[in-house]
Chain A
Amino acid sequence: MVNEKRAVRKSVSIAREVSPYLIFFALVLFGSFMGLGVLRLYSFRLECKLNSINSQIESFQAQQVELKQRLSSLLSPGRIYGYSKKDLGMVYASNVKVLRIDEPLLAELPETGNRKDMAASRENEGWFYFFLEKALAGE
């Protein structure tokens, strides 16, 4: 009887020594599972954010394609020529002589900008000098 009481007291004391660690372990485990759940929910939230960004990217890419298509159509030489001839009534400037001044002759003039840019803008303007109104020939 005494031995049994001693054994019970001993097991209770062992359990009392061990139980804080068990509780701690259980809490850690519980916390880990909760954390896992939170992380998964957070990753799902990030995926949804990614999805909306991807949708935006796709939308912008589609816009870019459409804008490139429209730009290409607007810059089409055939369209510009057709519009100039039919809508604006322009004709070839076949009786106009073009005077071209080579760059060395302009060396004394102050440079107002980058020559490449000037050449590029001259190029773009020259394209529209392709057509001059008939009236100019008579002037």
Chain B
Amino acid sequence: MLKRVGGSPWLLVFIFFAVLFWRVASLQLLPDPRVERQSSRQYWSRVPVSTNRGFIYDIKGNALALSVPTSSFFLDPAFWNPSDASALKGILPESIVKTISSSLPGRFFWLVRKTDEVTAGKIRGLKLKGIYEINEKKRLYPNKSLLAHVLGFCNIDDKGLSGIELVWDKILFSPPGYKVLAKESSGRTIDISRYSHEERTAGPGSVTLTVDSRIQFIIEKRLEEGIREHKAKWGSIICLDPNSGAIVGMASWPSFDPNVRESLKNLKLIMNNSIGRTYEPGSTFKPVIMGIALERGAVRLNESFKCPYRIKVADGHISEASNRSYGSLSVSEILVKSSNTGMAQVGMRVKPFDMYYSVREWGFGKNPGVELNGVEDGLLSTPEQWRGVVPSNIAIGQGLAITPLHLASAIAAIANNGYLLRPFIVSQATDSSGQVIYRGERQVVREVLSPRTASWLRKVMVDVVKKGTGKQADLPFVSIAAKTGTGQVAEKGEYLKGKWVSSFGGFWPAENAQYVMLVVIGEPTRGKYYGGDVAAPVFRSIVEDIYQTGLLVKAAADW
């Protein structure tokens, strides 16, 4: 019979093996989807992997914010014995221990998240059934409260909530990825690091700031000393490079430690006064008004003004802060002596509409463009509302509200020959591959002063320190140009008695400015309140410190 089928006995054998081989090949190369799913479940295990949040560096490359490994613990109620809760007394808060002392629903309950190693070691050591450990990353600020307002902070899931952490969250945050592990027959996993394509996420980038942490430390320390000495309520210091607009230091008081999460609940602590608090600048605004008046030809350099103790303006009065008449003052003397009546007359020579638009051209009433959140634009009423005594009030720095950053940028324009620059605090941002995706650069907003006017203003501001109201900031080894200011505090449409904002803004060396700095101390309560008495000594001490340590600003050409 075999001989009859196909004429060969081997044909059947061949057919048998051919079918066998085809079946083996199809099972190997084209498995049934059900078999594939079952084997995946048995053979592969998908576990989440936490990733680092990106670094934030200062201009010298020191890490100001980084993520460090930490442990979190959870319990599975299905395997948890509530009677074991007593072992955790003293390790975990009472409320947690009480909760886990009774049976819990579901399959997951957080015991503690991102705890310190001491607590983690204690929990681990108990070896309680039903408690499992997860490795996570915790955000750490090694310098504690240094630059806290700028750096900001994150929530428990490492999402930025404030400051650089919030604004640059897309660069710094990397969502948790997944690893696929192989399982042995015993159930033990072998990490052969196979990432599935759709689950592979890009790592975090990093952000480098323009801030020098050494200068930052100096200004924070001196600000706190000044605040405590005069028992003030708030304070701010901004230090920037006038030739590029880079912010080399930004301090705000009161401050907080972003590592201490309890302190984050206090809104007064976490508010950045340098960009988020508006105040009436007072006489520190006079150089801006004088610059506008000179540029518009409303005032000539060789003019003089009669400056009595008090002048009547529309329905109000403008009077001298010193309660005395200065007689006849030249234009430069009006600034040196900080005469309110003289300045009011200068300001009123410029039409309200022209003054309004010029003040806005100087950046006031607008977002300055710095890469931070919570930046206030300030308050500048429209010219239709500039009736009566308002134009003269604005000329002496009242009737408008600005932030310290606005004024520091304006002073920088005087220092750098008339260019209003966009202030920036981020030097560069890189993605996970190291590619630079953002670079902070010198950016001219507009030319607000001619070089001649700027040069004249610089000389006058030097005289303010040498002969005028800023004598307490005078130093023998460096020429400082500055202006004092003492603004009133307004509340519900009225100026409060006995409440002032003392400020001192200037730059050094006057002839070739390397730094611009504005010191603002809000509501000193220890008697003195003039800017020259409260803020100027703080300014001087910072200049001394920076000068003695020889800290240099990065050259403008490097930005």
Question: Residue B548 contacts which of A22, A68, A93 (CB distance < 8 angstroms)?
Answer: A93
Whole-angstrom distance from the CB of A121 to the nearest CB of chain B? 10
* Closest B residue, CB atoms, query A70: B142
Among A50, A96, A123, point to the contact of B550 (Cβ < 8 A): A123
Is B95 interfacial (CB 8 A cutoff)?
no
Residue A41 is within 8 A (CB to CB) of chain B in the complex: no
Contacting residues, chain B, for A62 (C-beta < 8 A):
69
* Nearest-Cβ distance from residue B214 to partner chain A, whole angstroms: 5
Residues of the A chain whose Cβ atoms lie less than 8 Å from the Cβ of B8: 11-12, 14-15
- Say whether A72 contacts B548, CB under 8 Å: no
Which B residues lie within 8 Å of A136 (CB)? none
- Pairwise interchain contact B21-A66, C-beta atoms closer than 8 A: no
Task: Tell me the complex Cα distance, A79–B191, Å.
Answer: 41
Q: Give the shortest distance, in Å, between B480 (CB) and chain A (any CB).
A: 15
Residue of B nearest to A46 (CB): B192
CA–CA, A33 and B476, complex, Å: 90
- Number of A residues near B (Cβ < 8 Å) is 47
CB distance from B476 to the nearest CB of A (A): 8
Alpha-carbon separation in the docked complex, A96 to B476 (Å): 12
What is the interface of chain A mostly: helix, strand, loop, or mixed? helix
Interface pair A65/B67, CB less than 8 Å apart: yes
| CA gap between A93 and B193 in the complex, in Å | 58
Q: How far is the CB of B200 from chain A (nearest CB, A)?
A: 13
Residue of A nearest to B476 (CB): A97
Best-surrounded residue of A19, A122, A129, A130 (most CB of chain B within 10 A): A130
Instruction: List residues of A (82-114) whose CB comes within 8 Å of B's CBs.
Output: 93-94, 96-98, 100
A138 at the interface (CB under 8 A from B): no
A123 B193 Cβ-Cβ under 8 A? no
> Is A78 within 8 A of B217, CB to CB?
yes
User: Which A residues are CB-close (under 8 A) to B213?
Assistant: 75-77
Given contacts A71-B63, A76-B142, contact A122 B3 (CB under 8 A): no
Residues of chain A within 8 A (CB-CB) of B221 are 81
* Distance in Å: Cβ of A16 to nearest Cβ of chain B: 10
Cβ contact within 8 Å between A119 and B552: yes
> What per-residue 1/0 map shows which CB atoms of B1-44 lie under 8 Å from chain A?
00100011010001001000100100000000000000000000
A26 in contact (CB, < 8 A): yes
B256 at the interface (CB under 8 A from A): no
Is B201 interfacial (CB-CB < 8 Å)?
A: no
Whole-angstrom distance between the Cβ of B40 and the nearest chain A Cβ: 16
- Chain B residues within 8 Å of chain A by Cβ, number: 43
Q: Within 8 Å of chain A (Cβ to Cβ): is B296?
A: no
Query: Taking each of B10, B144, B550, which has the highest tally of chain A beta carbons within 10 Å of its own beta carbon?
Result: B550
Residue of A nearest to B24 (CB): A33
Q: Is the interface of B mostly helix, strand, loop or mixed?
A: mixed
The reply on B140 being an interface residue by CB < 8 A is yes
Residue of A69, A81, A123 touching B140 (CB-CB under 8 A): A69
For A126, list chain B residues within 8 Å (CB): 548-551
Residue B146 interfacial (CB < 8 Å): yes
Known A78-B143, A129-B549; judge A98-B214 contact (CB<8 A): no
From the candidates A47, A94, A127, name the one contacting B544 in the complex (CB within 8 A): A94
Contact A51–B552 (Cβ < 8 Å): no
Cβ-defined partner of A29 (8 Å) among B3, B21, B52, B193:
B21
Task: List the B side residues contacting A94 at CB < 8 Å.
Answer: 544
| A66-B68 contact, Cβ under 8 Å, with A29-B21, A72-B63, A100-B477 | yes
B104 CB to nearest chain A CB (Å): 33
Closest to B213 in A: A77
Contact B549 A26 (CB under 8 A): no
Residues of A within 8 A of B217 (CB): 77-78, 81
CA distance A51 to B190 in the complex (A): 9
Q: Which B residues lie within 8 Å of A125 (CB)? A: 550
Ordered by A's residue number, 18 sampled pairs between the chains whose C-beta atoms are within 8 Å are A10-B7, A29-B21, A55-B191, A62-B69, A65-B52, A65-B67, A66-B68, A68-B63, A71-B62, A72-B66, A72-B143, A75-B213, A77-B146, A77-B213, A98-B477, A119-B552, A122-B550, A123-B549
Chain A residues with a Cβ under 8 A of chain B? 7-8, 10-12, 14-15, 19, 22, 26, 29, 33, 44, 47-48, 50-51, 54-55, 61-62, 65-66, 68-69, 71-73, 75-78, 81, 93-94, 96-98, 100, 119, 122-123, 125-127, 129-130
Among all A-B residue pairs, the 10 with the closest Cβ atoms = A126-B550, A77-B217, A11-B7, A72-B142, A47-B192, A72-B63, A54-B193, A126-B549, A51-B192, A68-B63
